[in-house]
Structure 1
Amino acid sequence: MQSFPVFSTVSKLHVVFCRSLLSTIAMCGTKFEYSARELVDMPTQTRGRLAGRKWLPGALRAGSKFPEYVPNPRENFPAFYRANASVAGCTPIRDFAKDVREIIERELHVHGALLFRGLPLKNGNDFSKFMRRLKDSLMRYEGGTAVRHEVAGSVYTASNDPPEYSIEPHNEMAYSDQHPLKVFFFCDVPALPGHGGESVITDVRQVSKKLDSEVVKNFKRLGIRYCRHLPTKKPGGYTSWQQIFNTEDKAYVEQYMAKHERSYRWESDGALTSWFRRPAFRNHPITGEEVWFNQVHSQNATYFQDHPLWAHLDIPSIKYPSNSYYGDGSEIEEDFLQHIREVLWEESVGFQMQKGDVLIHDNVFVGHARLGFTGKRKLLVSLSKD
């Protein structure tokens, strides 16, 4: 009679158990599928129109050279990462954050923008948790010019501007000495198909190369003077200095002005007027590459003159929420502002974000924008200093 080792059954069970364990590990591993060009090109008839668009600064100007439609995404702009379907339901947010951070550190300054899809994020609280797990140095949105409010820890609405308004391409807080180096957008409520609301990113590296040499020379020599006019808080008013600085304390605001070397005055009606000079270019902290980095166009009075809340008003330029000049205080040529806008849109791409998407961009190399929309749409934003 043939004899068998007494441990054979145990060994077989052990093998089965190990295979099951390995399968579970593989299934719940935090891996992404990468694609250089995952986003489907939008057919012309469904893409966001730029030329002649109402409530888009510069689009209705005589002789405008805006692209007819917002361009489609290009290869690796943005680079696309989809969570494997097998891992989305069993991998905790902290593990996804670890993998996302590794990809950011390796790829963000190369591609400029990364889009992650399939993360287990359902709302602003999940996004806030995800951002804390990334272990970035998150910023409070203080002293900025966008109309937004905080919805969770270090998470804000992307913009509270009227939905019909199209926000121009810009680098976040490029007018400030305290701008973020990374910007994170989370799609909480996607726009309905055919209702607009495309998310837009702009390759500022290419913008710097395409700007007219006379424009570049003027701004390199003179820099930019930003002026801001913030009313005191009142019902139905535009963003007040109390909202911008999250305080009612004028002394706190004055300390902020001194710290950031800004000139200011309090107006007789309680408003705050301030002005300061900033360069038009900056070098990337990793690559050293010099790029166009400012908001001379989107902080100019012409931005508000094409805005539904301001277009009906006949007021001096200095009374708009912001205005921009050359660094010596002289006026910027309107043709130069229009040229800047045209080049920014030429180097932009647009696409629809889906529920739960996270779009990350390097704030020095890449700007962002939004096309107007109808219906519901809600993006959230978080800012990082490193």
Structure 2
Amino acid sequence: MAAILVTAYRCGRSRNVQTVWSRISHKVHNNQPSTSFGTEVNLVETHVDWASRAKLHPARIRGRKWLPGSASPNYPEFLKPPKDGYPYVFTPDDNTTASPEGCAVAVRKVVHEVLEKNKNGAVLFRGLPLQTAEDFSRVVNNMGLKLMRYEGGGAVRSEIAKDVNTASDEPPEFCIEPHNELVYTSHYPEKVIFFCLDPPSPGAGGETVIADVREILPRLDKDVVDKFEKLGVIYWHHLPSHTPGAYNSWQKAFLTEDRAAVERHMTANGTSWRWEDGNLSWWITLPSMFKYRGQKLWFCGPVNHASHFKAHPLWFDKDLPDHHFPFTTYYGDGTDIKAEVLQHIRDVLWQVSMGFQMQKGDLLVLNNMYCQHARLGFTGKRKLAVALAKQDQDCPEDY
């Protein structure tokens, strides 16, 4: 493996890889009960030639069916491949057979160094001896993180292991837009962790998309930013009771059949709501900017808008008012967000986005404050799992 330089984000210094390895390469002595015979995990930074892979199977963005806003001439024609260091990639330096618990300790050390200390947005682990949702669950439950339930989320997901859900149960042809996880709530996670259970076939789509949040704000029109900063965003959700069709029910979204439990959750998280014939509408007004580690970030999701459903295979032909779609957005004063403003934001999000097809066993850790994520539509197989973690207070010096 060729030595490379690891560069801290947005600073003028770099450190030789040997110095970094002394801090983040980590041997794990596995004392956990396991059927595996290996005892060590030694993770090293690895170079991936993303550009060459993208040339073999370019992923079209502009004009793509089931991608909201893709008719815009300002969309890139093709999805860009990742750049060096975004994400950082780490692999075992040998054929380890360590248990998931053993892998977790090594992964946690790298995450602490790369995402927390160096303030990067994404790190990918490839080649770990992990296969199943249960393996993934054992990893995330032994990383020392404060895992959280997907309570009140708008995505269609299913629980498949302890603290682990499917990443999305949306129709495979649909493209999920770049977004910060649970940005429309006051209880968003700091870390989003994906695991590839079943990879897409080469050329079949399904690219996992990431976008550096710190590249978004400088590209947005100043007048657009100023208005959002002044007014904020209202996030509106409409959830029927158990209903067949494309809706996500409030029972599934809030993981309960108890209306009182839903109301307690709403109260605790500063959310307004109303019940109508057993159906739930809820809304919250949030700022468009968020100060994180001393830096102001664009941390909002105006494109969580009813227009999203006009390019959705289950919703495109539905004649509904905006507030009767599963979700929509407004300015904080209740006025509509103009279509050209939403398109401008979508243009910028895709201009800064990069993507790649995940491989079987890939584990991708994102800092949700610094990195948005998305998915391109696909044909054939593809299945990812996801786990969410709250802000890590084990490293108070970083905040």
* TM-score, length of structure 2 as denominator length: 0.86
User: Of 365, 369, 384, which aligns to 2:374?
Assistant: 369
CA distance in 1, matches of 2:66, 2:265: 33
Partner of 2:308: 303
Partner of 1:278: 286
Q: Cα–Cα, structure 1 residues 330 and 180, in superposed 2: closer, same or farther, change >3 Å?
A: same
Structure with bigger gyration radius: 1
Whether 1:104 and 2:111 are equivalent positions in the alignment is yes
Q: Which runs of 5+ in 1 are unaligned?
A: 1-23
User: Of 31, 34, 39, which aligns to 2:45?
Assistant: 34
Q: Cα–Cα, structure 1 residues 36 and 174, in superposed 2: closer, same or farther, change >3 Å?
A: farther
1:267 to partner: Cα distance: 1.3
Q: What is the identity, as a one-letter code, of the residue corresponding to 1:232?
A: S
Q: Give CA deviations for 1:117-144 in whole Å, capped at 9, x if unaligned.
A: 1111110000000111112100011000
SS of corresponding position for 2:148: coil
Whether 1:201 and 2:207 are equivalent positions in the alignment is no
1:373 to partner: Cα distance: 0.2
Whether 1:146 and 2:152 are equivalent positions in the alignment is no
Aligned residues: 354
Q: What is the identity, as a one-letter code, of the residue corresponding to 1:295?
A: G
Whether 1:290 and 2:302 are equivalent positions in the alignment is no
SS of corresponding position for 1:134: coil
Contact 1:117 1:358 in 2 (8 A): yes
Contact 2:122 2:366 in 1 (8 A): yes
SS of corresponding position for 1:145: coil
SS of corresponding position for 2:147: coil
Whether 1:160 and 2:164 are equivalent positions in the alignment is no
Query: Mean alpha-carbon deviation: is it higher for 258-267 or for 183-192?
Result: 258-267
Contact 1:263 1:276 in 2 (8 A): yes
Q: What is the identity, as a one-letter code, of the residue corresponding to 1:101?
A: R
Q: What is the identity, as a one-letter code, of the residue corresponding to 1:332?
A: I
1:261 to partner: Cα distance: 2.0
Contact 2:100 2:136 in 1 (8 A): no
* TM-score, length of structure 1 as denominator length: 0.88
SS of corresponding position for 2:214: helix
Once superposed, which parts of structure 1, at least 4 consecutive aligned residues long, lie more than 6 Å away? Answer: none
Identity across aligned pairs (percent)? 44
CA distance in 2, matches of 1:212, 1:37: 34
Partner of 1:266: 275
Whether 1:131 and 2:137 are equivalent positions in the alignment is no
Q: What is the identity, as a one-letter code, of the residue corresponding to 2:296?
A: E
1:341 to partner: Cα distance: 0.7
Contact 1:58 1:64 in 2 (8 A): no
Partner of 1:19: none
Whether 1:227 and 2:232 are equivalent positions in the alignment is no
CA distance in 2, matches of 1:237, 1:361: 29
1:40 to partner: Cα distance: 4.9
Whether 1:68 and 2:77 are equivalent positions in the alignment is yes
SS of corresponding position for 2:63: coil
Partner of 1:352: 357
Contact 2:120 2:370 in 1 (8 A): no
1:82 to partner: Cα distance: 1.0
1:29 to partner: Cα distance: 3.5
